[in-house]
């Protein structure tokens, strides 16, 4: 039997320069490591990310979470079977004793959960994706090339504008084409808005001084065409509105207007009619408005992806509400929203039981850890969203997908389905 011999946690920095948690789990000569990410436009119902408050790092230190791992969790899990992932996760959930991991911190619990999984994969001599599942399908990447909202300093309300390379047979070709468009977009923005337009936001996308959605979509369309690719046939576009962030006093503040929820629905209808390339709409409304989400699903059926992120926070209870109300047809899955591998898998399975799609996602505060690439392949997730094809914390995931595709050779497939 392979057991946990030692657990060591430490405070590291994430891609925004804020502290985060890193955990090593040791079993014999095998070591598993995980670096925990952190969001900015976090959903109200996410599991609790424990921060120290106080003076260090302007209150954002994670030494309490680190101490919870080293002094509370570690002594109680030494000797556990590393292959019993579910047992470990359930044990930590019970040890925490709250519904939202407020005691020990989801950042503490998740660090241990995934580091254990990786030690187990090593002990089996497998890649993480092989240990995680049987799938050999590479996900379609959603590359966030224009950043707005909380991830940038400008006036664009919509948080993310993403390239979706649909018309390709291989992940590596899809990534190459997307990276070419990213470079062309840079030229386009620089010419149109000047050098300031190509500064980048938190997820590596450009943060140009664009004030409305249509202008951003137009920039993307132009960049796709100027690079020589065909909109609709080869590329679609996804947006993440993260709409809770610009809802104030019952009105959505967007494009210089203040829209009621009804007017905002109308706004989407017109946008999709003008830009049929718009395939995926994430968090189009406030995170509590299951009904507004449902109205988009009933209008578009499966011809558009209506994606729940802040709405459902990778939590089966909220996904069940979304199922009852038919509020979405895609789940955005972020392991740190819920805090253990096992619970994230339950969220995945429940979503798949509805024949809905799943997008595995990074956070805006990331690290060089590439775990989610393996997760997306192992589970056979439909799509992966992990930022621009630039900045190493984003590219780390895409590069891992390239390695996996190469390793799988002819066995690899690519999800180019709409
Ligand atoms: P976050 O943003 O990590 O800041 O929450 C990503 C997203 O909303 O999908
Ligand atoms: Zn989102």
pLDDT tens-place string over residues 295-336: 999 999 999 999 999 999 999 999 999 999 999 999 999 999
Q: What is the DSSP letter of 127?
A: -
Atom of ligand 1 nearest to the CA of 310: 8
Domain of residue 158: give its range.
Answer: 132-414
108 shares its domain with 139: no
Structural domain contains residue 337: yes
Mean pLDDT of 255-280: 97
Residues 254 and 167: their CA atoms lie apart, in Å, by: 32
The whole-number pLDDT of residue 333 equals 98
Of 58, 90, 125, which marks where a domain is finished?
Answer: 125
Q: Name the H helices within 161-260.
A: 171-193, 213-226
* pLDDT, mean of residues 368-390: 98
Does residue 255 fall inside a structural domain?
A: yes
Q: What's the 3-state SS for 122-140?
A: HHHCCCHHHHHCCCCEECE
User: What is the tally of structural domains in the chain?
Assistant: 2
Q: So what's the pLDDT on residue 204?
A: 97
In a shared domain, residues 89 and 181: no
Domain CATH code at residue 52: 3.30.390.10
Find tokens 């209008």 and name the residue. Answer: 299
203 assigned to active site: yes
310 CA from centroid of ligand 2 (Å)? 6
Residues 104, 141, single domain; the answer is no
Shared-domain flag, residues 147 and 177: yes
The pLDDT-based confidence of 389 (bands split at 50, 70, 90) is very high
Q: In angstroms, rounded to a whole number, what is the distance separating the alpha carbons of residues 80 and 213?
A: 52
Query: Which residue among 43, 47, 159 has the greatest number of ligand 1 atoms within 8 angstroms of its CB, and so is best to mutate?
Result: 159
- Ligand 1: residue of 16, 40, 201, 244 to mutate (most ligand atoms within 8 A of CB) is 40
Same domain, 94 and 162: no
Ligand 1 atom index nearest CA of 38: 3
Residue 1 has a pLDDT of 79
Q: 173 and 92 share a domain? A: no
User: Residues 251-265: pLDDT tens digits?
Assistant: 999 999 999 999 999
Q: Is 334 a catalytic residue?
A: yes
Give pLDDT tens digits for 25-71. Answer: 999 999 999 999 999 989 999 999 999 999 999 999 999 999 999 99
Q: Answer yes or no: do 14 and 116 share one domain.
A: yes
- Residue pair 162/145 in contact by the 8 Å Cβ criterion: yes
- Joined together, the tokens standing for residue 88 give 């470990």
């Amino acid at each position: 039997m392979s057991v946990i011999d030692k657990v060591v946690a430490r405070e590291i920095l994430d891609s925004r320069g804020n502290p985060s948690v890193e955990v090593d789990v040791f079993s014999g000569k095998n070591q598993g490591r995980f670096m925990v990410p952190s969001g900015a436009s976090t959903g109200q119902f996410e599991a609790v990310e424990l921060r120290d408050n106080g003076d260090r790092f302007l209150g954002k230190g994670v030494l309490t979470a680190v101490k919870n791992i080293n002094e509370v969790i570690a002594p109680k899990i030494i000797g556990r079977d590393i292959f019993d992932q579910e047992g470990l996760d359930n044990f930590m959930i019970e040890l925490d004793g709250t519904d939202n991991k407020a005691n020990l911190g989801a950042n503490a619990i998740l660090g241990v959960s995934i580091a254990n999984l990786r030690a187990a994969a090593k002990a089996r001599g497998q890649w993480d994706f092989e240990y995680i599942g049987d799938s050999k399908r590479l996900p379609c990447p959603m590359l966030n090339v224009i950043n707005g909202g909380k991830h940038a300093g400008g006036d664009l309300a919509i948080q993310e504008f993403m390239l979706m390379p649909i018309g390709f047979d291989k992940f590596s070709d899809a990534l190459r084409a997307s990276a070419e468009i990213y470079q062309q977009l840079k030229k386009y923005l620089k010419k149109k808005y000047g050098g300031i337009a190509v500064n980048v936001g938190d997820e590596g996308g450009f943060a140009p001084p664009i004030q409305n959605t249509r202008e951003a979509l137009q920039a993307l369309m132009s960049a796709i065409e100027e690079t020589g690719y065909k909109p609709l046939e080869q590329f679609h576009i996804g947006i993440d509105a993260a709409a809770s962030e610009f809802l104030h006093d019952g009105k959505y503040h967007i494009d210089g207007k203040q829209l009621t929820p009804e007017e905002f629905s109308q706004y989407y209808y017109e946008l999709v009619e003008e830009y049929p390339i718009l395939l995926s709409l994430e968090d189009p409304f406030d995170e509590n408005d299951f009904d507004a989400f449902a109205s988009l699903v009933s209008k578009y059926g499966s011809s558009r992806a209506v994606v729940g992120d802040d709405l459902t926070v990778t939590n089966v209870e909220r996904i069940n509400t979304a199922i009852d109300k038919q509020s979405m047809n895609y789940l955005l899955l972020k392991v740190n929203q819920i805090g253990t591998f096992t619970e994230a898998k339950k969220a995945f399975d429940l979503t798949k039981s509805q024949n809905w799609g799943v997008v595995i996602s990074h956070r805006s505060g990331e690290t060089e850890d590439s775990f989610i690439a393996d997760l997306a392949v192992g589970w056979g997730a439909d799509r992966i969203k992990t930022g621009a094809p630039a900045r190493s914390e984003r590219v780390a995931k895409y590069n891992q997908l390239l390695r996996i595709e190469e390793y799988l050779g002819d066995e690899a497939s690519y999800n180019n389905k709409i």
